[in-house]
Amino acid sequence: MGNFLFRVPPVIDFGWGRRDSVGTAVAQFGSRCVIVTTERLHQNTPMIEAMQRRLHESHVLSTVYDGVKPNPTVDMMDSGAAVAQSFRADVILGVGGGSAMDAAKAVALGATNPGSTWDYRLFGERKISNRVLPVVTVGTTAGTGSHVSPVSVLTNSDLNSKFAIVDYRLSPVWAIVDPELTLSVPPHVTAATGFDVFAHAFESTLHPNASPFVNLAAERALRLVAQFLPRAVQDGNDVEARIAMAEADTLAGICITNAGTTLPHGIAMAIGGHAPRVMHGAALAAVYPAVMRFTWADAITQFSHLYQILRNSPVLADGDPEQASRAVDLVEDFLAQIGLADTVDKLGIDSDILAAIVKDTFALPDYSVNPKVPSMDDVRDILSAGSTTVG
Ligand SMILES: [Fe+2]
């Protein structure tokens, strides 16, 4: 009783303007660096060029792989790994949102290990046999928690399947968190990535591996999201809100590293596999109220705590069923406040792929660690909840 394992990320370098330290950060781990990023960041902003300058000042040779797009595919990861091999990279720098950081981890794996990165997914054919290159990250959104997690999410477009590589050797060795970079994130992306932070923190408290440390980090993350996400959505230049969300994202990432996600993420990942254009946070938001209604009675303590946090009250030890059920309404109100109140049918998902989404929800372990384990019918009901055209 009371035993737990808790991993802390090696280094978080947190602060306004900290991206300027990228050269010295990367130079600790190698002298030939592939920057893994998106075409948009590379072509439309001066950020990557500025980073290459910093790397050069620290005597690090660099090249850019900018083939990453949202919901990165296996092909993108494998192409990046080929670039890293031919450049003889000894360190990988991921610059961007969760997609770029996840891609950086997969590139670091694929650069030194045989086959396709897809082979190393959860339950995949291969195990990592060679040392993964060290990964340094500079995040540009406050979402995903990728900079402190061992997870790389990748999409196989041939199979319409979204899966994850989960291995602690993928965890970034150095995470630069510079909230100033999130100032330019538009409101709908701020809302979606910010709600992902909420989901990581809350679902970690529901996970069987939740520990006192996880719960502490989750509580702080949830309080920050409740207070500051609406402000960051409303005014992207709200510096205090951006700093708070960057902190919340980092804490929630530590939560999923040590506990994990549950049913909402299982369904949202399945949605992402079939409808990659739907933002991960928007898919989560669409299923959240229904999953909460399905789950709350089996996790009274955690749902009560969420209620207390969302009401900005201290967290009390005991659970209260009345509060637990009302937590669902509070989350619905919160989603409306940040403009993420769409049901699944409003996301533009064709009803003919719903059966496949239901099936794929059961391909990932998330559903099995939910406090109440769903059947396929339950997931079907969750997907059609509140919908006018489905079910
Ligand atoms: Fe997530």
The alpha carbon of 263 and the centre of ligand 1 are apart by a number of angstroms equal to 11
Kind and range of the H or E run holding 205 = helix 187-206
Domain region containing 24: 12-181
**Which amino acid is present at 135?**
V
The model's pTM: 0.94
Query: By percentage, how much of the chain surpasses pLDDT 90?
Result: 87
Is 208 in the same domain as 264?
yes
Is 175 in the same domain as 319?
no
The alpha carbon of 53 and the centre of ligand 1 are apart by a number of angstroms equal to 32
**First-to-last CA distance in the chain?**
44
Question: Given this model, what pLDDT does residue 349 score?
Answer: 86
Is 138 in the same domain as 206?
no
The alpha carbon of 116 and the centre of ligand 1 are apart by a number of angstroms equal to 24
Q: pLDDT band for position 9 (50/70/90)?
A: confident
The alpha carbon of 281 and the centre of ligand 1 are apart by a number of angstroms equal to 7
Structure tokens at 214: 């996880």
Question: Given this model, what pLDDT does residue 389 score?
Answer: 45
pLDDT digits (tens, 9 = 90+) for 76-107: 999 999 999 999 999 999 999 999 999 999 99
pLDDT digits (tens, 9 = 90+) for 101-113: 999 999 999 999 9
pLDDT digits (tens, 9 = 90+) for 237-271: 999 999 999 999 999 999 999 999 999 999 999 99
Least confident of 140-144, 174-178, 295-299: 140-144
The alpha carbon of 144 and the centre of ligand 1 are apart by a number of angstroms equal to 5
Is 241 in the same domain as 120?
no
Does 315 reside within a domain? yes
Is 172 in the same domain as 256?
no
The alpha carbon of 274 and the centre of ligand 1 are apart by a number of angstroms equal to 16
The alpha carbon of 98 and the centre of ligand 1 are apart by a number of angstroms equal to 9
Is 237 in the same domain as 374?
yes
Domain count, the chain: 2
Domain boundary among 145, 160, 181: 181
Is 250 in the same domain as 337?
yes
The alpha carbon of 260 and the centre of ligand 1 are apart by a number of angstroms equal to 10
* Listed residue (41, 38, 63) closest to 52, CA to CA: 63
The alpha carbon of 296 and the centre of ligand 1 are apart by a number of angstroms equal to 20
The alpha carbon of 252 and the centre of ligand 1 are apart by a number of angstroms equal to 10
Compute the distance between CA of residue 187 and CA of residue 328 in angstroms, rounded to an integer. 24
The alpha carbon of 256 and the centre of ligand 1 are apart by a number of angstroms equal to 9
The alpha carbon of 196 and the centre of ligand 1 are apart by a number of angstroms equal to 5
Compute the distance between CA of residue 43 and CA of residue 15 in angstroms, rounded to an integer. 25
